[in-house]
Amino acid sequence: MADLPEARLRIGKPAFHSTGMDCFGPYTIKIGRRQEKRWGLIFKCMTTRAVHLEIVASMDADAFLMAFRRFAARRGSPKELFCDCGTNFIGAERELRECFRDMSGELQEKLAERQVKFHFNPPSAPHFGGTWEREVKSIKNALKCCLKERVVPEAVLQTVLVEVEGLINSKPLGYASSDIADTDPITPNMLLMGRRDLMSPPVVINPKEEIRSRNSGSTVRS
């Protein structure tokens, strides 16, 4: 087996310094009486194995750039991004490069260290992104378990997606011993938050239940 790539061993660097990303979906949501599609966007730290999930309304470059700005504002701007040759990723990289080129020389000098370098996988080679492709499978299974086949509002999909993010980040990074006296293994959440996460498990939505909001509050009936 070959050595791990450098992006997997960024020792001493902050989380999401080297990040892999990909889109998955679509998922159907309801807005009033109409239905629309939404996609998920995964950012995965190549070193700490932590994930960050976002929702995008379309598969174009503008939607990705907005999601990337939300990700960078909360997790910090990455130094390098690894992805496939999706048109949204290629278009976003071109737009960022052109914006930097149009800046003044003084501004370019100040922002040079904050540039994000894109690494594109070869075409038709999804195995190059196996690090985050495996997480996409886990995310899809978790969403299917929670939502079943139900079409939910966008706020519900976003809430469940963030809960799935916390669940994925709670997976141990090492061997989990069955002996209660042994030390608990480190998880990505411990590296991100500095403490163990004690969040409740995601709620499974029963398709037979009807959730209605009234002036006096929310009621659930079968």
Q: Report the half-sphere exposure of 162 (CA within 13 A, side-chain side).
A: 7
Say which DSSP state 9 is in.
-
pTM of the model: 0.81
**Could you count the other beta carbons within 10 Å of the beta carbon of residue 45?**
28
Q: What are phi and psi of 90, to 5 degrees?
A: -65, -40
**Confidence check: pLDDT of 159 > 50:** yes
Domains of the chain, residue spans: 14-169+187-221
**pLDDT tens digits for range 80-105:** 999 999 999 999 999 988 888 888 77
N residues, the chain:
222
**pLDDT tens digits for range 110-152:** 777 778 899 999 888 878 888 888 899 999 999 998 888 889 9
Q: Tell me which architecture the domain covering 14-169+187-221 has in CATH.
A: 2-Layer Sandwich (3.30)
**Confidence check: pLDDT of 70 > 90:** yes
Q: Comparing 66 with 178, which gets the higher pLDDT?
A: 66
Average pLDDT estimate for 70-75:
93
Nearest by Cα to 51 from 81, 23, 15: 15
**pLDDT tens digits for range 183-221:** 778 888 888 888 776 665 555 555 555 444 444 444 444
**Confidence check: pLDDT of 40 > 90:** yes
Average pLDDT estimate for 63-85:
93
**Confidence check: pLDDT of 21 > 90:** yes
